[in-house]
Structure 1
C-alpha cells in the first residue's frame, strides 16, 4: 500500500506542481522534493517506532510520493535546456538515474535491516538513516543545479544548427492538454508502461513457472533473483540507450520500435511454451529495455510537440499515465495469474492471457503513436492546399 500510493502520488504531484517547477526553477523544485521525500522517510521512522502503520502510509506514500513527483520532473526539463541538440540523451540520463536508484536502494535497505533488525526499532532506524543520507546527497544536487543562459547553445548546435531536431511551437500546459497529441501520447505511455509491468510485476514467479527444473528449490530461488536483477539492469540501460538513439531516428520511430517489436516479443512468449532459456531471457531483457525507454523518450517527445516553455509542467501531467498504469498493470497481471493458479493451471499457461492483453495494449499504443503529428502554432489556421505554407508553419514532423 505505501509503495503503490507513492507511485500514484508521484503522478498526481507532478501534474499539480509541474507549472510551479517551470516558473520557479529547478533549485526551488528540488528543495521541495528533498524536503518531502526525506521528510516522508523520517515520518515513517517515527511511525515505525510508535507502531502506527497508517502513519507509514502517510509518510512514505503521500509525503514521500509528492517528493518523488516533483523531484522526477525537475532535472528532466533542466537537462533538456542544457542539451537542446540531444534532448533524448539528456532525458535518458536523468530518468536512468531514477530507475537505477533501485539498484542501490534495494540492497542498501536490506543491509540496513540486517544491521538494525526487522523489529519496530530496527525499521525505524532504517527509515531514519535512509532519510538523513538521502538528504545529504540531495542537498548537494540542490546546490549544484542551475539553468543555462537564455541564449545558450552548445558548440555542436552552434556549428550545425540544422542537424538538430527543432522543438515544436511553444504551448503552455493548459494549452497542451487540450490537444489530441497530448492524449494520444498519454495512451502510448500508459500502455507501454502497463506492458512492462506485465513482466516486472511477477518476474520471479514467471521465471520459476517457465523453468521449474533445477537441482534444488534454493537454486530456483537464486536463479529467479538473478533474473529480477537482470531485468532491473535492462530497465535502466534502456532508458539511456534507446532514448539517446531517438535523437537520431526520431521519437515516433523510437516508439514504433518499443510498441511494435514489443508486441512481437510478447507473441513469442505466448507461443513459445518450451522456449530455450537464452531466448526467454533475451525476449524479457529487450521488453524491459523498451519499458524503461518509454519513460525516458517521452519528455523529448513532448519537447518536439510543445516546445520548451512549460515542458516540465506538461511532462508532469503526462506522468498521470504512469500512475494509472502503476495501478492498472498489477491488477491485470495478478488477477489473471491468481485466477489461473486457483484453476490448477501450471507453467507458462498461467500467463498466456495476461501476455495476450499486454500484446493488445501495445498494438493500440502503436496506432495512437501513428496518429501523433506536430501541432500547429497557437492561433494559426491550417492551410488546406498550400503545402509550402504548412511546412513553414510547422518546424518539423515528429519522427
Structure 2
C-alpha cells in the first residue's frame, strides 16, 4: 500500500483528526483497570495475573514500534493504520472468545500479544507524518494526535463500565463487552485509514521551514548516541512512575479510602479512571505545546521534578483528603501524558526529521520496559503487603517511594542531554531525496 499523497490545496489540519481516530481507539488500553475486578472475580485471578494482558500489550507496543518503525517510514501512515486496525480489533475478538470459554490465556494472547502489536504500529503511524506537516510546531502537532491515546480511556472507561453493568460482570458479559469493543473500534479506526495523507514535497507548509532543515541523524546512528539513551531513561522512568498507578487506578482509590466514612464505590472509581484519562489527554496537548515555547529540557524538568513532589504528597498525606489525592493524581497523569507527547519533538530537536518515526519506534522499547516494571512493582508489592495482613493505603506506600526514586533518576538523565555530535550527522539523506522525487513526479 503506497503512501497516499496529498493533492494540491490539501489542508494539513485534516491530518490530526485522522491520527486522533486511531489514537482514541488504541487509547482504550488505559481503561484496562475497569476490567480487572470483574476478571479477577469471574476467573479467580490475582491482581498480578489480571494485569498480564495490559503488561504484555505495552511490551508488544514497544517491540512492534521498534521493529516496525522502519516499515512505517517506508510504507507510510495508511499502511500502518490498516495494520493497527486489523491487529487491535482482532485482539478484542480473540479476548471475547477467551472470556466466553473461560480460557484466560486466550485473553492474554489476544489483548496482550495481537492487540499489543496494533497498539505499537498504531501509536507511531502518524508521528513522522505530523512532524513533516507541522515542522514549525512539532510539539503541538504530535500533542494533538497523541492526546488521543491518553483520552481513549475517557471514552472507554465509562463505556466499558456501563456495558459490564448491562451485560453482567461474569465471563459471558465480559466476552460480549470485548466483542462490542472490537467491532466498534474497527469502524472508527477505518476513518483514519481513509483520511490520512502525506505531504507532496519537503516543504508542506509554504510559510514554514523545510521539514528537512538542520541536523539529521539516521535511526542506526541515533541508537549509538548517548542522547538517545538519556531519552530512553527519561521516558522509561516517567512511564514506569505513571503507568503502574494508572493500570491500578480503580482499585487503588478504593483501597486508599476503604476505611473512611465515605468509601469509594465502583462507579466512582470508574469515574476516577475517566478523570485520570482526561488529565492524561489534556497534558499531552497543553504541556507539549508549551514545550514549543519553553524548550524540551525545561518541560521535562517540570514533569520529573514536580511529578516526584506529587508522589511524595500522595505517599505521606494522600489518605487524609480525597481532593488532595485526586488533584495530585491528575497532575501526575498530566505530566505522564505530556512526557509521551513531547518526546517526538525532543527527538526531532536532537536528530532531525529524517527517520524520526523509526527513531521514535526504537525509543518506545522504554515503554515496553516500563509496561512491565510499573504494574509489576505496584501489583507485586500490593499482593505481598496484603499477604502480610495490611490493607488500605498501606498496600501502596513502598511503591510510591520507589516511583519518587525513579523520577529522580529521570531528572538526572534529562540534565545530561546535550546536542548530538557532528560525527553522527548525515548529509541531505539520499533516501529522503528519492522519496521527494517520486512524490513530485507523481
Q: For this structure pair, what is the TM-score category when the shorter chain's length is used for normalisation? A: 0.7 to 0.9
User: Which has the higher mean CA deviation after the structures are superposed, 199-208 or 248-257?
Assistant: 199-208
User: For each residue in 1:223-267, what CA deviation from the matched residue of structure 2 results, as whole angstroms up to 9, or x when unmatched?
Assistant: 444333322221111111111111111111110100011122222
User: Which has the higher mean CA deviation after the structures are superposed, 198-207 or 319-328?
Assistant: 198-207
TM-score using structure 1 length: 0.84
- Whether contact under 8 Å (2:256, 2:393) holds in the other structure is yes
Match of 1:233 in 2: 278
Structure-2 change in CA distance of 1:137 and 1:257 (3 Å): same
Structure-2 change in CA distance of 1:342 and 1:35 (3 Å): closer
Match of 1:178 in 2: 224
Q: Does 1:269 align with 2:320?
A: no
Match of 1:80 in 2: 131
Which ranges of structure 1 fall in alignment gaps of 5 or more residues?
382-399
User: For each residue in 1:262-308, what CA deviation from the matched residue of structure 2 results, as whole angstroms up to 9, or x when unmatched?
Assistant: 12222223343664443333222111111111111111111111111
1:140: how far off? Answer: 1.9
1:192: how far off? Answer: 0.4
User: Which has the higher mean CA deviation after the structures are superposed, 332-341 or 281-290?
Assistant: 332-341
Structure-2 change in CA distance of 1:309 and 1:351 (3 Å): same
- Whether contact under 8 Å (1:214, 1:220) holds in the other structure is no
- Rounded Cα–Cα distance in structure 2 between residues aligned with 1:207 and 1:116: 25
Q: Which of the residues 248, 251, 270 maps onto 1:202? A: 248
- Rounded Cα–Cα distance in structure 1 between residues aligned with 2:87 and 2:267: 36
- Rounded Cα–Cα distance in structure 1 between residues aligned with 2:177 and 2:312: 43
Aligned length: 375
- Rounded Cα–Cα distance in structure 1 between residues aligned with 2:339 and 2:348: 15
- Whether contact under 8 Å (1:238, 1:288) holds in the other structure is yes
Q: Which of the residues 293, 303, 311 maps onto 2:356? A: 311
User: For each residue in 1:105-131, what CA deviation from the matched residue of structure 2 results, as whole angstroms up to 9, or x when unmatched?
Assistant: 233344445555556665554444333
Match of 1:142 in 2: 193
Q: Does 1:368 align with 2:413?
A: yes
Which ranges of structure 2 fall in alignment gaps of 5 or more residues?
1-51, 427-442
Q: Does 1:326 align with 2:377?
A: no
1:189: how far off? Answer: 0.4
Structure-2 change in CA distance of 1:180 and 1:338 (3 Å): same
TM-score using structure 2 length: 0.77
- Whether contact under 8 Å (2:158, 2:274) holds in the other structure is no
Match of 2:22 in 1: none
Structure-2 change in CA distance of 1:344 and 1:127 (3 Å): closer
- Rounded Cα–Cα distance in structure 2 between residues aligned with 1:212 and 1:379: 55
Superposition map of 1:33-48 within 5 A = 33-48=84-99
Superposition map of 1:84-103 within 5 A = 84-103=135-154
Structure-2 change in CA distance of 1:214 and 1:44 (3 Å): closer
User: Which has the higher mean CA deviation after the structures are superposed, 187-196 or 113-122?
Assistant: 113-122
- Rounded Cα–Cα distance in structure 1 between residues aligned with 2:320 and 2:168: 42
User: Which has the higher mean CA deviation after the structures are superposed, 30-39 or 120-129?
Assistant: 120-129
- Rounded Cα–Cα distance in structure 1 between residues aligned with 2:325 and 2:166: 37
- Whether contact under 8 Å (2:62, 2:362) holds in the other structure is yes
SS in structure 1 opposite 2:420?
Answer: coil
- Rounded Cα–Cα distance in structure 1 between residues aligned with 2:418 and 2:291: 16
Match of 2:236 in 1: 190
Structure-2 change in CA distance of 1:351 and 1:129 (3 Å): closer
- Whether contact under 8 Å (2:91, 2:111) holds in the other structure is yes
